[in-house]
Chains A and B, each alone.
Chain A
């Protein structure tokens, strides 16, 4: 069996990158109690409760709303202010450019 050296190294690297993420997903599917009491590589008691909470509990989803508001406002202001300036700089010469 011919082992492709490149593929092997890439796989190792990707495993290294995915480990913390896998652990995060693992924890997200366990209940709080299970996390604190047992140590397991996959959830013994698969639960989507955590996901339900972040989507229904106001203290969580307000975060999303704030983020989206912030990003949209940022984009709108940046674009509307930068585009005219960019146009001016590229098309015209004026004092102090």
Chain B
């Protein structure tokens, strides 16, 4: 498309630039500002350089939160991606009543506001009024997510799996549907086993879609806040305090703006780095594939 060179086009772009500057850039700069300053109170700040960064990076508390976050993200990725692919393989292939019903019901958990998800599961897990809690209690299992950290972890992980596996299912399903029939027919003629069909036809063709699913789930789970917060509040103790919960505690609970700001920046950079790695892998494998 031939683009005409027109400096006046700047006026059309100006509103967006201003808006983004106001709502994103300036707050970002404020954070950077806070991250290199300290205060004695009364809104008086003085420069401390990278002291906050050093302190954060060395702090045990941050390491613990990071450790929990990594365990959490790894666990849910290991559950959600294979489970999502598995369910997608069994989604009805023909368009029809059953297919539409499945799609709608599978998508339902994705549409629920996140704090409602937290509330649902908080109640669901209670022994007195929740179906899950009550059932487990009746079966004799000692289940109390407010006091037992293992129970808290399990609850949060199942909640996340319940909430987000459907995203992986829908993405994988879209990828699967785009495979032309001829591949399955050729595999039939070649007498390929079901496993071979999955390994050599379905999985390679779903690669692009799967990478997107993994990237999305990674980013979201690394930033997760509302759902675990509503259910456990980070407890019991600090058993389920993930990175973002820890950050909010610092910033708003303790009002340690300096460390909180430094933390935010590090957090942001970590996610950016890993996403960039993913993106490069995706583009690189795309280049290898299509020429």
Known pairs A14-B102, A82-B16; A91 contacts B4 (CB<8 A): yes
The distance from the CB of B107 to the nearest CB of chain A, in whole angstroms, is 10
Known pairs A88-B9, A94-B7; A10 contacts B162 (CB<8 A): no
A36 within 8 A of B: yes
Q: How many residues of B contact A (CB 8 A)?
A: 36
B15 within 8 A of A: yes
Q: What's the A-B contact tally at a CB cutoff of 8 Å?
A: 96
Question: Across the interface, do A20 and B12 meet the contact criterion of CB distance under 8 Å?
Answer: no
- Chain B residues with Cβ under 8 A from A88's Cβ? 9-10, 12-13
The distance from the CB of B67 to the nearest CB of chain A, in whole angstroms, is 29
Considering the complex, give the chain B residue whose CB is closest to the CB of A11.
B102
A92 within 8 A of B: yes
Question: Across the interface, do A21 and B108 meet the contact criterion of CB distance under 8 Å?
Answer: yes
Which of B129-137, B211-219, B222-230 lies on the face that meets chain A?
A: B129-137
Question: Across the interface, do B121 and A20 meet the contact criterion of CB distance under 8 Å?
Answer: yes
- A39-B134, A84-B13 known; 17 new pairs, CB 8 Å cut-off, are A9-B86, A17-B105, A17-B108, A18-B108, A20-B120, A20-B121, A21-B120, A24-B123, A77-B19, A85-B16, A88-B12, A91-B3, A92-B3, A93-B4, A93-B5, A94-B7, A94-B13
B interface list, Cβ under 8 A from A: 1, 3-7, 9-10, 12-13, 15-17, 19, 86-87, 90-92, 98, 102, 105-106, 108-109, 120-121, 123-124, 128-131, 134, 162, 166
A interface list, Cβ under 8 A from B: 5-7, 9-10, 13-14, 16-21, 23-24, 27, 35-36, 39, 77, 80-82, 84-85, 87-95
